[in-house]
Amino acid sequence: MIRVTDLHPWRVSTQKAIEIQSRLRSQIRLEKLSGPIRYVAGVDLASSKRTNAVWAGVAVLSYPDLVAVEERWFHGKSDFPYVPGLLSFREIPALLKALERLETDPDVILCDAQGIAHPRGFGLASHLGLVVDKPTVGCAKSRLVGDFSEVGKEKGLYAYLWYENRIVGAVARTRSGVKPVFVSPGHRLSLEDSLRVVFSCCKKYRVPEPIRSAHALVNRVRKREEP
């Protein structure tokens, strides 16, 4: 099951959050996946437009056939402000509560966020992967940092994302003729493995199915519970 390591407090100032990211980035390991993938999980979070309430969700699918296995969610509050580059401090505490409720142990977790393609090399996917000691992939719909060359229009093509003279991810076409996504490894897997997982989890849509399922879950719960 998911085991959470208490690496630092979450209720901190923005300056302290930046210091924590800078300190922990050296612990991120990018390596080839060591075992088979049986289950993939997607995580997402929905926020209230009127209060500080949040709904965190995780959806687990079998791999590679992507059949729904389990869904869990958590309703709580987040007092950390929305600050670009510090998304993990706003979202991860609630995501951890949802992940801890799982009975299925996912082999890879996909996040609608950045991995190492981040100003300090420590986006939400990297942060979450380090806290739960799991392979994590960032698959975002928009770029946070980096430069890239034009990507071909066909599904399966990609271009490397460069930042500060190194490759931090890839801009990947997961559906022909549709805007690409920004893929970056989070923790405990390589960029090549990250791309393989993302492409194999995109059967019909631009966004990987585990993330789509988690997104649908949190929005369904939010609409049901929000007054």
Q: What is the pLDDT of residues 199-222, one digit of tens each?
A: 999 999 999 999 999 999 999 999
49 has pLDDT over 90:
no
**pTM of the complete model:** 0.96
Please report, for residues 55, 85, 123, 188, the alpha-carbon distance to residue 194 in angstroms, rounded to integers and kept in the order given: 26, 21, 15, 10
pLDDT tens for residues 176-185? 999 999 999 9
User: Exposed (0-12), middle (13-18) or buried (19+): which is 103, by Cβ within 10 Å?
Assistant: exposed
- Host H or E run for residue 141: none
- State the residue for tokens 């989070």: 186
What pLDDT, on the 0 to 100 scale, is given for residue 1? 79
DSSP state string for 35-70:
S---EEEEEEEEE-SSSSEEEEEEEEEETTT--EEE
Query: Residue 34's pLDDT is what?
Result: 87
CATH number of 14-225: 3.30.2170.10
> Could you give the maximum distance between any two Cα atoms of the chain, in Å?
49
CA distance 9 to 24: 13
Cβ count near 64 (within 10 Å)? 12
User: 77-132, pLDDT tens digit by residue?
Assistant: 998 999 999 999 999 999 999 999 999 999 999 999 999 999 999 999 999 999 99
